[in-house]
Amino acid sequence: MVYADRIEQLRAMMRNRGWDVVIVTGSDPHGSEYPAERWKCVQWLTGFTGEAGDVVVTLDHAGLWTDTRYFIQAVQQLEGTGVELHKMRVPEQVPIPEWIRQKFSGESEVYIALDGLCVGAGFAREIKSGLNADGAACHLVSVPNLLDAIWADRPGIPQTPVFTVDPGESRIERLGRLRDWIAEKGVDYVLLSSLDDIAWTLNVRASDIEYNPLVISFLLVGPETAEWFVLKDDVEDEGTEKTFAELREDGIFLRYYEEIEIAMSEIDGSVAAADLNYHLSSLIGPSRLVETASPVQAWKAVKNPIEIGGFRDCHLQDGIAMVRFLHWLDRCMQNDRAVSEWDAAVHLGQLRAEIPGYQGDSFETISAYGPSAALPHYITPKSGAPMLEPHGLYLCDSGGQYLNGTTDITRTWALGPCTRLEMEDYTLVLRGHIDLASAVFPLGTPGCRLDALAREPLWSHQRNFGHGTGHGVGWFLGVHEGPQDVRQNLNGVGFEAGMVVSDEPGIYREGLFGVRHENLLLCVSAGSNDFGSWLRFEPLTLCPFDTAPLLVDMLTPAERDWLNDYHALVYDRLRPYLDESDADWLRGRTIPV
C-alpha cells in the first residue's frame, strides 16, 4: 500500500532524527487557497484530495484533520492507509494543538518537525504554547521542504510564463499606495506573501496555480525599493523576459525565489506582514516583525472603472457562451442525445475557449445532474459520469478567467418535467437570489447583515443551505477573494461601491437534487439623502434563469418585476452577438412571467 509505505518512510526519518511528531499541511508558503502540485503534501502522503486537511504523524499514530465537507471522502480515501480521520467543525472536535498536548501530556521534551514554510505562524505558536502550558519543553523544528528526502519525484516550483495586465492603475501607482501605507504605519518595509496581493500590486499574471492566474513569488517593498523574489532556474520564455525587463525599468529589483529566506534573516528594519508562514516569521524575528492585515486586500476589493468595464465586457462574452451552452443542452434533451455530466462540462469549456482573452476556467466546472447536484462541492468524474435525462434538474456552476476579468455563474436547468418539490425549492432559492440582488442598504453595511435577505424565503418554509451566500471575486485573479462576503459568520467588513460579490443561495436534497442560482453582482452607489449614503447591486452576469420550473405565484410582485427586468436586460445586451437560432431561443427564454 503506497500511502502506508510513505508514512513508514516518514517514521524512519523521524526515528533517525529524534522527532516525536511531524505535521504535514495542505498549504503552500503563501497560504494559497489552492496550492500547486508541489505543495499537495497531504495528498502525496495519504491519498486524501480534499481542499482542507492537515496530517499529524507520530511513531504510533497517523491522523488527518478535516471538516464536515470531506468526512465521506476522507473515509473512502484513507481506507488501508492506517491514517485515522479526526473530525473538525463538530462539537466534539479536538484540534491539532490540543490533540498533541493531550498525547504528550507528562513528557518533559517534545520534538515537533514541520515544513515551516507551509505552516502559519499562529498555528505553530498555538502548538508550542499548548505544550509549554502543560509543562513540556516543545522544540519546533522547522525543516523547509521536509518531504523532499522521501518524495523522489516531487514536482518543482511552477514557473509558467509571466505577463502584464493593464487595469488602469500602474504598478508605480500601486507601489505608491503601499509606500504611503508604510509611512503611515511607521514601518520600514512591507512583505507581501499572498500571491493575489502581489499580482494586483505589480499588474502581473501567470498560470503557476490551476485556475488562478498567479506568479509564485514574494514582494518586499520599502520607501524607495521594491524587491520581487520571483526568479527560478531555467526560465527561457521571451514574454517573461520582456515582462521582467519592463518591471526592472519600473525600478523593481528581481531576485531568486529562494533568496527570500536570506533576505529576511538579514533585513535591517521593521517588516509589516500579514498571515506570514512560520519559517519566514521566525527568520524576521519578533523584534522586527509587525503582524498586521494586508492593506492590499481592501484595495483590490474595490474595482476601478477600467476593471469594472472589463468585468462588464467579459460577462457579456461569458453570457453568450452560456446561452449557446444552454440552447445546445435544450436541443440535446429534445433530440434524445446521450450527454453525460462530463460531456456537458467539456462542451461548455469549448464554448468559453472561443472567447477572445480566455485564459482558462476560474475553477473546476461542477456539472451535476439530479442527485449529483445534492453535493454542493460535487466533482464531475471524467469516466463513468452520470448521463443527463430529460426530466428533473441539472446544475452547472462554472466560470472563466479572461484578460479583462473573472466570471462565476450557476444555473439550474430543468431538462424536462420536474416534481412539485423541485419546483418549490427552485422558486424559493430564486426568490432569495432576487431579494439579495434587489436590496438597497446603507453604505458600509457588512454582508453578514444582508445574508438573511437571501435566506428568508427558504427560512419561512423551514428550508436552508449550509454554505455562504456570496464571496468577493478578483479581477482576473482568484474567483474567491476577501475581505467582504455575504455569510452567516459575523464578518464586519462593510460594502463599498466597486466591490464585486457572488449571490448564490441554494438548497440540497440528498439522493434527489440540488438547486443553486448564482450571478455576480457589482455594488454601486444609490445616492445620498437625509438618512445617509445608499448602495445597491447591479448584476454583472448576463444569462437567463430557467422559468420552466418556476412557480410564478410564489413570487412577490417586486420579485417578478426584477426577474422580468433582468431577462429584458439579458436579451437586449446579448441579442446583437447571437446568431438567429440562439437569438430566437433566448427570446423564448426571456419572455416575461
* Residues making contact with its own copies (CB under 8 A): 439-442, 445-446, 448-453, 456, 459-460, 462-464, 488, 490, 492, 526-527, 529, 531-532, 534, 556
Q: Which is nearer to its own copies, 304 or 445 (CB)?
A: 445
Q: Which three cell numbers stand for residue 275?
A: 498571515
Nearer to its own copies, 80 or 492 (CB): 492
Whether residue 574 contacts residue 316, with contact meaning beta carbons closer than 8 Å, is answered with yes
In whole angstroms, the minimum distance from the beta carbon of 473 to its own copies comes to 23
Neighbouring C-alpha atoms within 13 Å toward the C-beta of 54: 19
CB 448 within 8 A of CB 488: yes
Ordered DSSP codes for 356-390: TTEEEESS--EEEEGGGGGSTT----SSSPPBP-S
Smaller CB distance to its own copies: residue 256 or 459? 459
C-alpha dihedral, 476 to 481 to 483 to 486, nearest 10°: 110
In the bound state with its own copies, the residue whose beta carbon lies nearer, of 441 and 475, is: 441
The nearer residue to its own copies, 305 or 532, going by C-beta atoms, is 532
Supply the minimum distance, in Å, between the C-beta of residue 468 and its own copies. 13
Q: Minimum distance between the CB of residue 157 and its own copies, rounded to whole angstroms?
A: 40
Q: Which is nearer to its own copies, 150 or 452 (CB)?
A: 452
Q: Which is nearer to its own copies, 385 or 454 (CB)?
A: 454
Shortest spacing between CB 96 and its own copies, in angstroms? 24
CB of residue 424 to its own copies, shortest distance in Å = 14
In which order are the strands placed within the sheet that holds 218-221?
253-256, 226-231, 218-221, 189-192, 271-273, 289-291
| 536: nearest Cα among 468, 435, 463 | 435
Peptide bond into 457 cis (omega under 30): no
- Cβ atoms of 573 and 540 within 8 Å: the answer is no
Q: Which CB sits closer to its own copies, 455 or 589?
A: 455
d(CA 216, CA 31): 11
Residue 509 beta carbon to its own copies: minimum distance, rounded to whole angstroms: 8
Select 54 or 435, whichever has its Cβ closest to its own copies.
435
Distance CA 239, CA 226 (A): 21
Distance CA 201, CA 195 (A): 10
Q: Of 10, 218, 235, 206, give the one whose Cα is nearest residue 117.
A: 218
Choice between 553 and 579, CB closer to its own copies: 553
- Minimum distance, C-beta of residue 504 to its own copies, in the bound complex (Å): 18
CB of 530 to its own copies, least distance (A): 8
Nearer residue to its own copies within complex by CB, 11 or 487:
487
Take residue 26 and report the three cell numbers written for it.
495542505
Burial 43-77 (b: 16+ CB within 10 A, else e): bbbbbbebeebbbbbbeeebbbbbbebbbebbeeb
DSSP-derived 3-state class of residue 589: helix
Q: Taking the complex as a whole, how short is the minimal distance between the CB of residue 423 and its own copies, in angstroms?
A: 18
Question: Pick from 359, 260, 288: which is nearest to 30 by CA?
Answer: 260
- In degrees, rounded to 5, the angle at the alpha carbon of residue 143 between the alpha carbons of residues 30 and 279 is 40
Taking the C-alpha atoms of residue 327 and residue 314, their distance in angstroms, rounded to an integer, is: 20
CB of 392 to its own copies, least distance (A): 19
Chain CA centroid to CA 331, Å: 33
255, 256, 260, 265 alpha-carbon torsion, rounded to 10°: -80
| Shortest Å, Cβ 515 to its own copies | 14
**Cell numbers representing residue 331 in the block:** 436541443
**Burial of residue 496, with CB atoms counted within 10 A of its CB: 0-12 exposed, 13-18 middle, 19 or more buried:** middle
* β-bridge mates for residue 226, sequence order: 221
Half-sphere exposure at residue 28, Cβ-oriented, CA atoms within 13 angstroms: 22
Quote the least distance from Cβ 437 to its own copies, whole Å.
13
Query: Rounded to the nearest 5°, which phi and psi values hold at 394?
Result: -115, 130
Rounded CA-CA distance 104/60 in Å is 12
Q: How far is the CB of 420 from its own copies (least distance, A)?
A: 17
Minimum CB–partner distance for residue 426 and its own copies (Å): 16
Between 131 and 493, name the residue whose CB sits nearer to its own copies: 493
Residue 164 or 488 with smaller CB distance to its own copies: 488
Nearer to its own copies, 334 or 460 (CB): 460
Report, in Å, the least distance between residue 435 CB and its own copies: 8
Q: Which is nearer to its own copies, 100 or 450 (CB)?
A: 450
Q: With left for phi above 0 and alpha for psi between -120 and 50, is residue 416 left, alpha or beta?
A: left
